[in-house]
Amino acid sequence: MVLNKSMPFFKKKLGARVSLFAKMNILILLLFIPIIILFTYSNQVASHVISKELQASNIKQLSFLSSQIDSRINQTVDFVITFSKDPNVEKFNGLNLWDDLYDKMQTRYVVQEKMMLQSGVMNIWPVTYTLYSQQNKEAISNNKDTVKYDEDYLENNMTGDWTYGDGRAATAGTQKSFNWFYTDSFGHQGTLKGSNLVVQASFGHENIQNMLDTYKAGGQGDPIFYHEGETPILNRSASKKLSSELTLYLDGKQLADTNQEVVLLDHKNYLVSAVKSPQLGWYLVDIVPLDQMLGPISSSRNLFYLSMVLLFVVGISASVLLYRNVQRPIIKLIRGLQSVQRGDFSVQIKSNVNNEFAFLFYRFNEMSRQIQDLVEKVLGEKLRAREATLKQLQAQINPHFLYNCLGYIINMAQMKEQEAVVSMAYNLSAYYRYTTRMERETATVAEEIKLLVNYLDIQKLRNERIEYTIDIPDEMLKQQVPRLMLQPIVENAVIHGVGKSYSSGEIRIRGEISGGCCRVYVDDDGPGLSADGQEALNRKMKEPLQEEMGCGLWNTNQRIYHQFGEGSYLHFTASPLGGFRTEIIWQTPAAAELSQPSSQPSTQQGDTLHANDHR
């Protein structure tokens, strides 16, 4: 009783402890998730700030490089303008004022010397200068190759702006150069008047490459010099494949003076920055691998995530260890207690642990064995007491039934009703012959039906109102059932049904086999029971035998259950005849083999009749 009262408390505790493993894992997740979210957020903020700084720094460096290139070009332009005003240069174009060849050679030498000197001063930015005299149809240059005067060449290149290439086909193995043609015609740049002095300044792509190499040596980028429709100028260590993909990307873009964008090139993210050179109209383009620039941040982020994964694995491992060594033994112990609550005192907890729980399991197994022994002793005493009660009831009821039948025989004999006397004596003899034979505990349904016929004929002789019908299928007649299974039910219908009303008297016994079960319905047209009474009687069949209730129906229900297993029982309901119906349901042998009865207390399978059942 104390165990039954305490089990709801343990069930509540079990509900809380069964999910302990899940709760611990959820707690670990709840501990890790905020940390990971906060770190991810801070890492993204740091990456964003660094990326912005990188973009701004990249634009500044490109702008500085562009200003350096423009500064070199401006120095070249300033020299060309100043050089064109030099007296020796003007003398070179001097309308044939000199007659002396020596003076002419001296002038050419001085002019050429000045051009070479200027180019030597700017050795980091070497420039080729060429002086054309339209009046003398001559040309002089600091180029090692001889330059000839070409009027058409000048006409085609007098644009007033820096151009890439001079209209001539480049020789094999060489690239175009940047050229600027300046004439001394005031206010008429870009035109030839017939007596102009033209100065040509040109520098090759090597100058740009030198600047790009210097820029690349101080950073992480890979700069190029780009103009749409022209072959880009690359730094000397540039990746040809990457530069080709970058050129294709730039050809499809409408570039502004300053551009910056993250682009996917060669399956990697690059920061592409472009700054336009005002003097040349070309773009300084730099590509910076973001993954490489942000590599330390990514490495620290990945290291943190790896640490979190390792910590999570350690946490889950600790949770699993705790579950296996603490929660699982507790669950085993609680399941053992639940089995004890259900009445299974033979339960034993097996354990392969060698800790404190091993002692608890040992003590539980000892307790379970002691309880089982105690229950078996108490149950045995109850069964012996119930057997004595049944025998006492049999001794009290059977003589009374016999006295009534003998009294009926005496009365019929005095009334000279020979046929009634013979019929009563025959049925009474057959009835007691069957009930007193104790060598077998089971009988066929056919034998049980014969007993019912004897019993009902006896009752019909005593009470002429009684009418009965029996309809049992042939295949059911061969079924083996506990002896005296049907007689107590019919006796209950006679005494508590027909016997309590002067207007009733019909008893109907019908059987059927369906769904692997045999069913026998015993109906009477007596006063019956209310719905609450039927429900109470059905409930009592599932409870232990109580002192205030009769034991005939309860004992029959127990005998059916233990004979045929689960799914075999008595059920009480209203009868179609208007009275009371008792349904006897048992499984056929094939179906009974599939059903295993639970450990309910067994009862004495008595072979006596009990007429004192209460509804």
Q: What is the pLDDT of residues 44-86, one digit of tens each?
A: 887 778 778 878 888 888 888 889 889 988 988 888 888 888 8
Greater confidence, 204 or 122?
A: 204
> Tokens representing 413?
């004999």
Tell me the average pLDDT across 27-54: 82
Strand 569-574 with 517-524, pairing: unpaired
Residue 601 pLDDT: 36
Residue 613 pLDDT: 41
Q: What is the mean pLDDT of the chain?
A: 79
pLDDT reading at 596 higher than 60: no
Tell me the average pLDDT across 475-482: 91
285 vs 245: CA distance, rounded Å: 13
Residue 585 pLDDT: 94
Tell me the average pLDDT across 252-274: 87
142 vs 104: CA distance, rounded Å: 17
Confidence of residue 606 (pLDDT cuts 50, 70, 90): very low
- Strand boundaries in 227-354, DSSP class E: 233-234, 258-265, 268-276, 283-289
pLDDT digits (tens, 9 = 90+) for 154-188: 888 888 888 888 877 766 667 788 998 888 765 55
Q: What phi, psi does 242 have (nearest 5°)?
A: -65, -40
Of 136, 128, 109, the closest CA to residue 196 belongs to 136
Confidence of residue 17 (pLDDT cuts 50, 70, 90): very low
Greater confidence, 322 or 576?
A: 576
pLDDT reading at 519 higher than 90: yes
Tell me the average pLDDT across 578-588: 91
Choice among 353-362, 379-388, 596-605 with the minimum mean pLDDT = 596-605
Exposure string of 408-445, with b = 16+ CB inside 10 Å and e = fewer, is: bbeebeeeebeebbebbeebbebbeebbeeeeeeebeb
Choice among 63-67, 104-108, 209-213, 468-472 with the minimum mean pLDDT = 104-108
Tell me how crowded residue 303 is: count the other CB atoms within 10 A of its CB.
10
User: What are the residue ranges of helices labelled H in 85-145?
Assistant: 87-92, 101-121
Confidence of residue 226 (pLDDT cuts 50, 70, 90): very high
pLDDT reading at 574 higher than 90: yes
pLDDT reading at 534 higher than 60: yes
